[in-house]
Structure 1
Amino acid sequence: MANLLLRRALLDAVRVPIGARASSELAKVGNREWVGYGFNGQPNYVDRPDFPLPAVRFRADTPDIKVLREKEKGDWRKLTLEEKKALYRASFCQTFAEFQAPTGEWKGAVGWALCIASLSVWIYMAMKLFVYSPLPASFDDEHQKAQLKRMLDLKVNPVDGLSSKWDYENNRWK
């Protein structure tokens, strides 16, 4: 119950009133501007390829950014490339190419998996060498052949078992 109350209090603290969203000027979240709905309607920033428009800008408005925002309302051909990049980085953390680039985390995961597999093989070999006793003599080939001959001589399960597949007149398998 306390967990539910805490969760509810946190959600209420983060939420912006509905009236503030509906106004012509979007609300502020801390020092950052709420610029859209986002992927779930909450004022959060996430770089996602399936929903490329985050709800809030990445950085808070600084005096330099405010000047650039006023300048961007005019002709974009008058903006330099550095100014366009600064505006982009104020709104977004990474480009599509940056956040979709492979990170190489799989190499660490595969490395740890191989280390654990190697360790388990070493533990098995140590157990087989030091813990388990050797196999009984009945596992040798000559003992198994003698056991099979004894079962055939005793005609064990002659209807549908092993002895039913032995030809007793020719001494070979049917």
Structure 2
Amino acid sequence: MLSTRAFNHCVMRIYRTTRGICGRDKIGNRDVVGYGLNGTYMYSDLEMCPFPAIRFRENTPELLALREKERGDWRRLCLDEKKILYRASFCQTFTEMDGPSSEWKSILGLTLVGISAAMWLWIYCHIFVYKDAPITFSEEYRGALYWRLKGIMHQPITGIYKPPFADKYKPETMPDDW
């Protein structure tokens, strides 16, 4: 489920946004060699769809001459010519697609920037926003509030919480039955 969502979010949104606008006039001087992922004329290196719809590089006179030579006996092609032909059709090999990337550096960098921004926001809030605690947080006020609630018979059945310091702030004029 999660991998499907990740695939739809990261890969498929490209094809959804470009499906109607990738015609033959948009691909330049490239050969259409297959159907591709969704039948759109675009290049993408994906393991699940290893044959893109168009070639990676545009046709040049040197490349067209190599393609004519390719139609003959492949033993007459040297290794460099085979590599040039491969790189004209594909951007990456499967090993390069599977290989480690340096994406972790940008992820780590952005994570550290986010943590740094959060810490600076926390420092700003503690300096300029959270000046002093309200008076209702003081011991004296909370003790007086307890005795006031007790005096008006607030929650007579279940009772109310008595702070440990409430006796210190007990009023002088209290009935004896409290």
Q: Establish whether TM, by shorter chain, passes 0.5.
A: yes
The residue identity in structure 2 corresponding to 1:71 is K
Deviation per CA, 1:27-62, whole angstroms, max 9, x where unpaired?
Answer: xx5321110111121222222333222111111222
- What is the aligned partner in structure 2 of residue 96 from structure 1? 94
User: How well do the aligned residues superpose, as a CA RMSD in angstroms?
Assistant: 3.2
Identity of aligned residues (%): 38
- Residue 23 of structure 2 corresponds to residue 15 of structure 1: yes
Deviation per CA, 1:45-84, whole angstroms, max 9, x where unpaired?
Answer: 2223332221111112223322322333344444332222
Report how many aligned residue pairs link the two structures. 139
Alpha-carbon distance between aligned partners in 2 of 1:133 and 1:142, rounded to the nearest angstrom: 16
Alpha-carbon distance between aligned partners in 1 of 2:108 and 2:94, rounded to the nearest angstrom: 23
- What is the aligned partner in structure 1 of residue 126 from structure 2? 125
Of 43, 46, 52, the residue aligned with 1:45 is: 43
Residue correspondence of structure 1 range 15-164 to structure 2 within 5 A? 15-16=23-24, 29-100=27-98, 101-102=100-101, 103=103, 104-128=105-129, 132-136=131-135, 138-141=136-139, 143-145=141-143, 147-148=145-146, 151-152=149-150, 155-162=153-160
The residue identity in structure 2 corresponding to 1:57 is R
The residue identity in structure 2 corresponding to 1:15 is G
TM-score for both structures, normalised by structure 2: 0.60
Alpha-carbon distance between aligned partners in 2 of 1:87 and 1:58, rounded to the nearest angstrom: 10
Alpha-carbon distance between aligned partners in 1 of 2:110 and 2:97, rounded to the nearest angstrom: 20
- What is the aligned partner in structure 1 of residue 13 from structure 2? none
SS at match of 1:125: helix
SS at match of 1:32: coil
Report deviation, 1:97: 3.7
Q: Greater relative contact order: 1 or 2 (C-alpha under 8 angstroms, separation 6 or more)? A: 2
CA gap of 1:140–1:30, structure 2 versus 1, over 3 A, is: closer
Q: Can you give the 5+ residue segments of structure 1 that lack an aligned partner in the other structure?
A: 1-9, 18-28, 164-174
TM-score for both structures, normalised by structure 1: 0.61
Report deviation, 1:153: 6.0
SS at match of 1:64: helix
Alpha-carbon distance between aligned partners in 2 of 1:68 and 1:96, rounded to the nearest angstrom: 23
CA gap of 1:162–1:67, structure 2 versus 1, over 3 A, is: same
Larger % of strand: which?
Answer: 1
Report deviation, 1:113: 1.1
Alpha-carbon distance between aligned partners in 1 of 2:85 and 2:147, rounded to the nearest angstrom: 89
